[in-house]
Structures are given as structure tokens and as C-alpha cells.
Amino acid sequence: MSFFSFFKKRKAFEKLVGKFKKGRELKFEEYLKLGNYYREQGLYSKALRIHKSLELKKGLSDEEKARLNKSLGFDYFYLYQYRSAIKHFEKADDFFRGEDEEVRSGLLKAYEFSGDWDSAIELKKEIFIINKEYSDEKMAHYILIAAEDMIKRGNRKKAKKYLKEAMKLKNNLDEIFLYMADVEENPFKKMEYLEKIADKYPLVVYKKIQDLKMEFFEKGKMEELLGFLENSENMYFKLIYVSLLLQKGECEKAREILESFPIENENLFLNLMLLPLILELDMSESAKQISYKIEKKLKELEFVCTGCKKEYVNFRLRCENCGEVNKVRLNINF
Ligand SMILES: [Zn+2]
């Protein structure tokens, strides 16, 4: 919007507000706009009151009713009253037959925020199909969001159901295993899921295993955990195994594993995990080599703008390519 038209709009609304305050009769159109104007200013209760007063007006056409329902939907949405928002958005959507994109996205958000993911998934699928953007992979990713939200809300059963649905659509999504590990009760099953994604999400898996360690310990199943880690082919799991051995004082066994560990690896995170273990065992020759690798890798680290993906050698606050501020982050590929 240009400055001039913004100015004109402001003036027009000031006039409307004046009329409203003087208690003069306003037309449907004026009321609707006035309420929307208040909502844009963040005055949601005021917007709702004005729109609600319009509901009582007699002789509204079906189209006017639908536009009023749309406005009421947004008023309730911003007041966190999602059930009411859904009711009004659904009525508006019925009238517009899905052709008003604002109504559709408002309805979708209201379903999501209220936790009604069954309806959200159905609607999202419809939107994908209408826009000719549907793919099983996209749908699976969307259903994963539903699962994540259910995990946050503490509803494991529902989360599991969504994970299964996502898996049916796309069975090789790594992220599914990440969430499976969250909803799974059996700690060994959890470990199996984490093992599948350790290479892609080493930090996440590392943190999750630290929490799991406590779980195994409390259940008196530490030996079983050690057995699982010992038999794993995954390098991260092997290093976690070594650190547990050191904690138990089994230095010889730890040394044996580390001596056969592929020292030539260029993986920064693996080397960062490896270094303290090697120092603890006084393997100074290997420690030198690994320190050198870490230093080299740290020097190679680049920064990347998370907005436009432009890479930089040095940090900057403002991206010179897209102009965004505070979007430049360290680019680490483990
Ligand atoms: Zn940028």
C-alpha cells in the first residue's frame, strides 16, 4: 500500500469511528470495515463486539452473512477462541465453496491451534489437491507436524496414529524415526529408532541418548544398554559406548575399541566426541592428530544466511544479499 492510500484509508476510518461514536446508524459495509479496522489495530474485543452487533441486523444477504462469518472467524481466532473461530470460518467456507483463500487458511490455522488435526489434515489435503501441489511426501511432512504437536500436548496415542499414517505415505522419512523414538515406551525400541538417524541428526540423537541413559539406569538395565551399544555398527553409538566404559573404569576395553576406531574421519562432531575420550586414555599421538583435524575443520566453517542461503566466510549481522538482519548463522554439516 502506498503512503497516500494508507493516509486516505486512515482518514476514512477516522470518519467512520466518529460516526460510530456519535451513535449514528452505519451501513453493513461500514460496520464490517470498522470492525476489521479495529482488529488490524490489535483491538480484538472491540472488533468482535462490532461484528457481533451486525449478526442481529435483519435482511442480510447470504454473501453478507458469509463475509461477516469470515470477520468473526478472525476476531475469535485472535482472541484464542478457536472453537468459535472454526464455527464461523466453516460457515463462511461453505458459502465461498473453498474459493476464499483467506478463509481457508484461517480455518486451517484454527484447526491446528485447537489441536483438531484430523480436520486440519483433511483440509490440507484438499488445499494441496486444489492447488495441484499434492504429493505423498508433502502430506507425510504435514502429518509429522500433527504428530509433533500431539507429542507436545502429551497425547502419545494420537501421535503414534499420525506417525503410522505418515509412514504409510512415505516409509523412508528419517524424521519419522525421530518422533517414533519420542512416542515409543520400550527403551530398546527407542535405541533402534535413534540408531537409524544418528548419522543425520548426531546432536539430537546424542542428547536423547543422554536422557535414555538415566532411564536405563533407573530400570537397572545398564548392562543391556551397554550390550546394545557394543553391537551397533554406528560410529556415534560406539563412542557413547566407550564413554560409558570409561565411566565404569573399564579402560582396557575402551582403549581396544578406540585403537581400531577410524582416525582418518573428517567428521567434526565425531572428532569432538572422540578427543576427550582419547585424552582420558593418554593416547597422545592420536590426540594430536585429532586436534589438528578439529582445528582445520573449524577454520573451514562458513556462515550462511538462513533467508537466502548466501554463504559468507565471516559473520555479519545484516545479509548483504537479501538485506535481512539477524539471519546469518554458522553453517555446520556434521
Ligand atoms: Zn540473505
Total Cβ atoms within 10 A of residue 222: 14
The Å distance, Cα 303 to ligand 1 centre, comes to 11
pLDDT in tens, 254-295: 999 988 887 677 788 889 889 999 999 998 888 999 999 999
- Has residue 107 got a pLDDT over 80? yes
- Has residue 153 got a pLDDT over 90? yes
Q: Residue 303: in which H helix or E strand, if any?
A: strand 302-305
333 — pLDDT class (breaks 50, 70, 90): low
The Å distance, Cα 327 to ligand 1 centre, comes to 7
pLDDT in tens, 66-78: 999 999 999 999 9
Q: How far apart are CA 78 and CA 292, in angstroms?
A: 55
The Å distance, Cα 304 to ligand 1 centre, comes to 8
The Å distance, Cα 65 to ligand 1 centre, comes to 44
The Å distance, Cα 270 to ligand 1 centre, comes to 30
Q: Which amino acid, residue 118?
A: D
Grid cell digits, residue 89: 470460518
The Å distance, Cα 330 to ligand 1 centre, comes to 13
The Å distance, Cα 300 to ligand 1 centre, comes to 20
Kindly state the DSSP code that residue 153 receives in the 8-state scheme. Answer: T
Of 221, 285, 230, 282, nearest to 253 (Cα)? 230
Identify whether the C-beta of residue 241 lies closer than 8 Å to the C-beta of residue 231: no
Q: What are phi and psi of 153, to 5 degrees?
A: -85, 0
Flag whether the pTM goes above 0.75.
no
- Residue 46: predicted pLDDT: 94
Report helix, strand or coil for 292.
helix
Identify whether the C-beta of residue 304 lies closer than 8 Å to the C-beta of residue 331: yes
Grid cell 573399564 is found at: 250
The Å distance, Cα 256 to ligand 1 centre, comes to 48
pLDDT in tens, 211-265: 888 888 888 888 888 999 999 988 889 999 999 999 889 999 999 998 888 767 7
Identify whether the C-beta of residue 173 lies closer than 8 Å to the C-beta of residue 141: yes
The Å distance, Cα 333 to ligand 1 centre, comes to 19
